[in-house]
Amino acid sequence: MDIKDIQNLIRFVSKAEVAEVSIKQDDIEIKIKTLASVPAQVASQQFYVPQAPVAQAAAPQAPVATPTNNSPQEEDNSNLITVKSPMIGTFYRSAGPGKEPFVGVGDSIAPGKVLCIVEAMKLFNEIESEISGKIVKILVDDASPVEYDQPLFLVDPA
């Protein structure tokens, strides 16, 4: 079982609203428990809950443009590729506090390059690039909660 299988399992459990899943393959055993399966008092003691305002947790909203508005920024964004979060979790730009971010605006990326980490259920998942290009914009603040399929980066393809 590789990391992609584990990520898919986490996605499945969160969408299926299952309280608990246990899987054993060869010498590996994985147990996933959702907060719904843990009493509220215990959950507050065992799990880290980011203290962020609700407004920061929402996905960024694109400005509404009128048909006559042809700003250069809109034209530039038409060829950009959006890198989205493959899971629900907490977004981190670096491997730890005080460490260099994996990527910054203007950095060139290639397939396999680590872009960020998304922490989900105490697992730190490295999100790798599947495309080549240049980072144009980082859409999420460090240590912010992210949703499944939420845009994280805008990339100008090479």
**Could you read off the pLDDT of 15-45 as tens digits, one per residue?**
776 777 777 777 777 777 766 544 544 444 4
Whole-model pTM: value is 0.53
Distances in whole angstroms, Cα of residue 103 to Cα of each of 32, 90, 127: 31, 17, 11
Answer CATH for 81-157 from 3.30.930.10, 3.30.1380.20, 2.40.50.100, 3.10.450.750: 2.40.50.100
Rounded Cα–Cα distance for residues 89 and 121 (Å): 8
Taking the domains of the chain in order of start, what are their residue ranges? 3-33, 81-157
Rounded Cα–Cα distance for residues 81 and 109 (Å): 13
Beta pairing class for 133-138 and 81-84: unpaired
